Structure 1
Amino acid sequence: MPKSLLIISRQAPWSGPNAREALDIVLAGGAFDLPIGLLFLDDGVFQLTAKQDAKALQQKDLSANLQALPMFGVEDLFVCGDSAAERGLETTGLALEEVQVLSAHDITALIDRYDQVITL
């Protein structure tokens, strides 16, 4: 049985390559049927804001990658509700509708469920 993997994405989509790399790892894991989850934490919650204008920042839009997650079998998607609230983001109307909102306490239990954790 393959080991489960949790990717924690902590970077805003425009702050460098880490957000894209986290999504690439998750998509690759999903393509190989790896039990994989993705948690958006800290500034990573900004990846879930709808209708971002990546061209204005001369960045590549990540929304297509986000929308592809279910097609790759990635269904364990989580967002830290505390991180979203601290940044003034509502957890309704996010770019991913199937994301589960977790508290800091829930995140500790989530991390314990996975065999391996990668933070980007």
Structure 2
Amino acid sequence: MPKSLLIISRQSPWSGPSAREALDIALAGGAFDLPLGMLFMDDGVLQLMPSQRAGALQQKDITANLQALSMFGVEDLFACHTSLAERGLSPTELSVEPLQVLRDQDIAALIDRYDQVITI
């Protein structure tokens, strides 16, 4: 049985290649039917915002990659409640569904459910 993988994405979509790399890992793992989930924390929750203007920063828009996750079988998507609240974001205004919003105490239990964890 393949080991499960949790990818924790903590970087904003504009701070360099980390956000895109996290999504690339998720898409590749999904293509090989690896059981995986993604957790967006800290500035990583900013990746979930709709209408990103990546071109203004000479970056590529990652919205299409986020939307493709479900097509690759990556449906376990999580966001940190504290990170959303600190940035004034509401789960209803985010562009990714289905998305489970977790409180801090639930994040530790989530991490324990996966065999391997990558933080990017």
What are the equivalent positions in structure 2 for 1:92-111 lying under 5 Å apart? 92-111=92-111
Q: Distance in 2 between matches of 1:57 and 1:7?
A: 25
Separation in structure 2 between the aligned mates of residue 46 and residue 61 of structure 1, nearest angstrom: 12
One-letter identity of the residue aligned with 2:22:
A
TM-score normalised to the size of structure 1? 0.98
Distance, in Å, in 2 between the alignment partners of 1:71 and 1:93 is 22
Aligned to 2:119: 119
Unpaired runs of at least 5, structure 1: none
Separation (CA, whole Å) in 1 of partners of 2:80 and 2:25: 20
| 1:93 Cα offset (Å) | 2.1
Structure 2: tracts of 5 or more residues without a match:
none
Counterpart AA for 2:31: A
C-alpha separation in 1, matches of 2:119 and 2:95: 21
How many positions carry a matched residue from both structures?
Answer: 120
Aligned match of 1:14: 14
- Distance in 2, matches of 1:106 and 1:98, equals 17
Q: Which residue of 2 aligns with 1:39?
A: 39
Identity of aligned residues (%): 74
Residue identity in the other structure for 1:4:
S
Supply the AA of the counterpart residue of 2:104. A
1:72 correspondence with 2:87: no
The root-mean-square deviation of aligned C-alpha atoms, in Å, is: 0.5
- Normalising by the residue count of structure 2, what TM-score does the alignment of the two structures yield? 0.98
- Per-residue CA deviations over 1:16-52 (Å, capped at 9, x if unaligned) read 1100000000000000000000000000000001111
**Structure 1 segments (4+ residues) deviating >4 Å:** none
